[in-house]
Structure 1
Amino acid sequence: MQVQILGTGQLLDLQRKLRAAGHENIRRSMQRRIRRAAEPLRDDLQDKIRTLTITSTGRKAGKRGGPSPTTRPLRASIAQAIRISVRTTGNPGAKVWVDRSALPPDITNGVVTRLNEGRLRHPTFGNRKRWGQQNATPGWWDKTVRAHQPRITREVERVVDDVRRRLE
């Protein structure tokens, strides 16, 4: 699951001009400003997943339960794996995504997608013969991204215009 803010035409053109002009400090400044524009989105996504309500149907009468086989909280693990990357070369833009390599091995990227859909099915305590279902508020990722997109787009446009003016 990832978000990409791309103004590829403007950013590619600007990237060529930066490379031709050899202004490394302007390029670094542009990257830093684009990253700053995406940081509130990352922070808000982390807050949303940390406070996401996840409910289950619970155990039926007479069924045994037990402690969780993992000591790691699901929502905190996902929040720590949300990353930002900014590129000004190749395919320029800013990307906010869930880094699979930062997730514990038993939490796949599909878990995040299914939580965004509002329904997570999983084996009960690792027993693949018994499955449980948990429900979450659907669209937590999509709604947060949509709320931030106009602001990020304005910020990136402002940064590109500033850099373009500096180069002219």
Structure 2
Amino acid sequence: MTRDVRILNTGSLLELQRRLRAAGGENIRSSMQRRIRRAAEPLKTDLQSTMRGLDIRSEGRRGRPGGRSPTTRPLRATIADSIRISVRTGSSPGATVWIDKGRLPPDLKNMPKVINSGRIRHPVFGNRRRWATQWAQPPWWDSTVRQHTPRMEREVARVLDDVRRRLE
């Protein structure tokens, strides 16, 4: 994906991590990780449902009507299932919502980025002499992330404040 979503305030998180290590607060650290993951979970769920329900339209057919797809895998569900969350507490603490390209088939590695642009151009049933253009409502990733960012930032700030209070 062109952009990962990162929930972080590096200075505050790094300072908090140092204090957690000094206090030996493993329970506090795991609670913080769990709450940060919980803050990012609605974004992941919404990105997945947005992808599954994304309307992709074609230009219209010319000539003979098409046939069945040569693949059995559903495009939208495959991409939706590859959306992941990772939470880190090491030297670069925070949370990232991203598309795991390792979970996508080789021919779909760039498809999330292509769909986010709104224009999908591909060979017709694998025939590289005939191409089709399809349109998706852009930008599915960016607009969904924009809607969730203020809520996630507030939630992470609340988590950091709670952890600071417990350490004092």
What's the TM-score, normalizing by structure 1? Answer: 0.94
Equivalence map 1:2-81=2 (5 Å): 2-61=4-63, 63=64, 65-81=66-82
Secondary structure of 2:106's match? coil
Matched residue SS, 2:108: coil
Cα-to-partner distance string for 1:55-107 (whole Å, 9 max, x where unaligned): 0123212x463321110110000110011011111211110011111112221
CA distance in 1, matches of 2:162, 2:65: 63
Pairs aligned (count): 166
**Cα distance in 2, alignment partners of residues 157 and 12 from structure 1:** 14
TM-score, length basis structure 2: 0.94
Alpha-carbon distance between aligned partners in 1 of 2:46 and 2:26, rounded to the nearest angstrom = 31
Q: Percent identity?
A: 66
Q: Give runs of ≥4 in structure 1 deviating > 6 Å.
A: none
Gaps of 5+ in 1: none
Which segments of 5 or more consecutive residues in structure 2 lack a partner in the other structure?
A: none
RMSD, aligned CA: 1.1
Partner residue, 2:101: 100
